[in-house]
Amino acid sequence: MKLGYYSYTTHIEHDVGDIHPEHPMRIIAINHHLEETGLAADAYQGGCNHVAQADLLRAHSQGYIEQLLAMSPANGMILADPDTPMAVGSLNAAYQAAGCVVEALDDLMQDRIARAFCSVRPPGHHAQSNKSMGFCFLNNVAIAAKKAQQEYGLERIAIIDFDVHQGNGTIDILADDPAFLICSSFQHPSFPFTHWRNIYNNVINTPLDEGSSGLDMRRAVEAQWLHQLQDFKPQLTIVSAGFDAHEKDHMAELKWQAEDYAWFGAFLSDINKGCEENKILAVLEGGYNLEALASSAHDFIAGFKD
C-alpha cells in the first residue's frame, strides 16, 4: 500500500530562536531518521504546494486570515499569542505546512497513495477559527477535513488526536458536525485547559492522568474509541500526530515509549482495513525531544503504512 511522505524546506523560515522548543531541528531529525532506516525510501514524495485562500477559509474566518497577514513582521519577531512567536518567515512556513496537508489529501482522494504522513511545522491543532495559540497559526487538520467534506463530499471523517495537549482548535472548528468523529487523548490537567469535557455530540475526549503509561493509553483508547470508530466506518481518517507524550519529552508528564506509537499506527490501520476507502492522513503536531520524536514518528509510520 503506497505511502506518501510530505515535507518541505521552507519550514526553516519559521525560526523563533534556539531556546524555543518548536524549532527547525524537529523536521530535520525526523527526515534524518527516516533516511537512515530507509522507511520512506520508496514513498511518494510531496510537499511543493502553497495552500489556496479558499482552503484556508474553510476553517478560518476571513478577518483572522487578514489579521495574520497584517501582523506578520517585516523584521524581528512578535507574539501572535503569549505562547506563539511569529518571525519574518513564520506565516509563509504555516502556509506551506497547510499546503502540504492539502496536497496529501488530494493525492489520497485521487488514489495516488493510501497512507500519508505530513512532516510539517508550525503545528496546527491549537489554532481556532479566529485565534492563534499554542505555537499554532493555521489548523492544518481542520483545513483538510473541511476540504474533504466540502470538495470531495465525504460524509464520515474520523479525526484522531493523540498529542499530549488536546487539540482544542480542531474541536472549536469541527464540533457538533456529524460528518466528523473526533477522538482526542491528552494529559489532564494540562494546556490548553479547555474543551476537555464531553459536551459535544461528535467528540470523545480521553483525558489521561499525569504519569500515565502507554499501556494506560492503550486500554483507554480501546475501551472508548474502538467500537465507535468501527461503527462510524470512516471514509477518511485524519490524524493529529503528537509525539510529546514520550517519557523523554519534558513538555508534559506522560510515560509513553516509541512502541506505543507503533501500536497506535497499527490500531488505526486495522480499523481502516474494515473500511472500503481505507485512507489515512497523519499530520505532525507536538514532539520536542529530538531523539524521541524521530524514533516515535518512525515507529508510528511503520505501524500505519501497511
278: confidence class by pLDDT, cuts 50, 70, 90: confident
Helix, coil or strand: residue 213: strand
User: Which pLDDT score, from 0 to 100, does residue 50 have?
Assistant: 84
Q: Answer whether 46's CB lies under 8 Å from 103's CB.
A: yes
Give the tens place of pLDDT for each residue, 5-39: 999 998 999 999 989 999 999 999 999 999 999 99
Regarding predicted confidence, which is higher, 1 or 192? 192
Whether residue 110 contacts residue 3, with contact meaning beta carbons closer than 8 Å, is answered with no
Cell digits for 219?
486500554
- Under 8 Å between Cβ of 96 and 11: yes
Say if residue 276's pLDDT is above 90: no
Contact 206/223 with Cβ under 8 angstroms? no
State yes or no: pLDDT of 195 exceeds 80: no
Task: Specify burial of residue 268 (Cβ count, 10 A radius: 0-12, 13-18, 19+).
Answer: buried
Domains of the chain plus CATH, in order, are 3-304 (3.40.800.20)
pLDDT band at 285 (very low <50, low <70, confident <90, very high): very high
pLDDT tens for each residue of 86-106? 999 999 999 999 999 999 999
Q: Are strands 44-46 and 203-208 parallel, antiparallel or unpaired?
A: unpaired
Convert the pLDDT of each residue in 238-250 to its tens digit: 999 999 999 999 9
Strands (E), the chain: 3-6, 44-46, 77-81, 84-87, 115-118, 157-161, 180-187, 203-208, 236-241, 280-284
What pLDDT, in 10s, does the model give residues 128-152?
999 999 999 999 999 999 999 999 9
Burial class (CB in 10 A: 0-12, 13-18, 19+), 301: buried
Q: What is the DSSP letter of 28?
A: H
Q: What's the residue count for the chain?
A: 306
Cα 197 to Cα 298: distance, rounded to the nearest angstrom: 32
195 is catalytic: no
The dihedral through the CA atoms of 148, 150, 153, 155 has a sign that is: positive
* Whether the Cβ atoms of residue 101 and residue 94 lie closer than 8 Å to each other: no
pLDDT-derived band at 192 (thresholds 50, 70, 90) equals confident
The structure's pTM equals 0.97
**Active-site option among 14, 126, 195, 298:** 126
Res 1: pLDDT: 60
